Homo-oligomer: A and B are copies of this chain.
Amino acid sequence: MTLAAWRSPLSRALHRNRSLVYARYLQLATVRADGRPANRTIVFRGFLADTNQLKFVTDFRSQKADQINYQSWGEACWYFPKTREQFRLAGQLILVRENYADPALQQARQSAWHELSDAARLQFAWPHPGQNRANLEAFQPQPPNPIEPLSNFCLLLLDPVEVDHLELRGEPQNRWLYRLDSAGVWLTREINP
C-alpha cells in the first residue's frame, strides 16, 4: 500500500506535539440507533501495519460498540494544541472482537492487548461501564493474562476515506481536503477555511 497523502502532515503534527500526552487523544463521533450523534475521547494507538487505518481499543460492553454495529461510519476530530491544527477523519469503523473472521486482524487484536499497560488491561476486567456504580472490590479484579485478551476487548480501526486538515496558524488559515477516489487514489484539494 502507499501512504495516504494526509499521513505526512499528520505525522508532523504528532511529532511537533509529542511533549503533550493528550495530543494522542481525539474525539470519535458515531451515530446512535435513534439517529442522534454520540461523541467521546479515545486514545490513538498508531496505525495498523501497512495500512492507513488508525488503531484504537474499546470495550465490547461500551455504547460505541452498539453504535458501530448500527452505523459503521465514524468521524474523528483531532485537535493539536501546540501547532493549532485540526484533522477530521471520516471513514468506516471496524470493530475487531473475539473470533473475528480475518486471522491477520485477530493477530492485531492480540498484539494491541499485549501492548496495553497493566492498568489499561485491568479496566477490561472492571464492572459493566455505564451501569450503576459497583462497590470498590469490583474494581480490584485479578490482573488479566497479558497474552490472551479478555473476550470483551476489541481492537477498533478507522479506515479514512476523507480527511480535512485545518491549520489555524496561517494568515489566513490554511485548509486541505483529502479524498480517496474510486480508483483508490488520494486526491488533495486546497479549500477555504
Contacts and interface: CB of A to CB of B under 8 A. Distances in A.
Interface of A: 20, 22, 25, 27-31, 35-41, 71, 73-77, 79, 81, 86, 88, 90, 123, 126-134, 136, 139, 172, 175, 177, 189-193
Contacts of A22: 79, 81
Contacts of A90: 36, 38
A132 to B, nearest CB: 6
Counting from the closest, the 10 A-B pairs by CB-CB distance are A29-B29, A29-B39, A29-B37, A27-B27, A39-B77, A139-B172, A133-B190, A36-B73, A39-B75, A22-B81
Nearest to A86: B41
A112 to B, nearest CB: 20
Contacts of A130: 177, 191-192
A30 B40 contact: no
How many monomers of this chain does the complex have?
2
A81 B20 contact: yes
B31 A36 contact: yes
Given A35-B71, A39-B76, 19 more contacts: A20-B81, A22-B79, A29-B29, A29-B39, A29-B75, A31-B31, A35-B73, A36-B73, A36-B90, A38-B88, A39-B75, A40-B77, A40-B86, A123-B193, A126-B192, A127-B192, A131-B191, A134-B192, A136-B172
Nearest to A133: B190
A29 B64 CA distance: 14
A10 to B, nearest CB: 16
Contacts of A28: 39
Contacts of A131: 191-192
28 contacts: A22-B81, A25-B79, A27-B39, A29-B29, A29-B39, A30-B37, A31-B31, A31-B36, A31-B37, A36-B71, A36-B90, A37-B37, A37-B73, A38-B75, A38-B88, A39-B75, A39-B76, A39-B77, A40-B77, A40-B86, A40-B88, A81-B81, A126-B192, A129-B193, A130-B191, A132-B189, A132-B190, A133-B190
